[in-house]
Amino acid sequence: MSKTENVFIRVEPQVKEKAEAIFEELGISMSNAIGIFLHQVILNHGFPFELKIPYEKPIAFDSLSDQEVEQLFEEAMQEYKEGKVLSEKNVRSILKRIMKE
């Protein structure tokens, strides 16, 4: 067996418990999971996943100029025309279909 080093980390108890439960389902230990993560860091020369804030902060319209508000509306209309945004009618029909399933 190869030589190993100890790594000590501090995490909230509920985070540790939830992670351990998942690792148990996967059939690996916390130590192995952390080892896998560290190997992926090495292979990727950084985090093996994207780090980002998962949502955009809302825009305060009163902080925007009239020109900026107009530009946002133009962009929204263009997205709607390109089919990137659903109409209320389309959203309602999709929700009704999902609710029946």
Q: What are the structural domains of the chain?
A: 1-52 (1.10.1220.10), 61-100 (no CATH)
Residues of the chain with pLDDT under 50: none
pLDDT at 47: 93
Q: What is the value of pTM for the model shown? A: 0.51
pLDDT at 89: 80
Question: In whole angstroms, what is the distance from residue 23 CA to residue 26 CA?
Answer: 5
Question: What are 100's two structure tokens?
Answer: 């029946």
The residue type found at 69 is V
pLDDT at 101: 64
Residues shown for the chain: 101
pLDDT at 58: 67
The residue type found at 10 is R
pLDDT at 39: 95
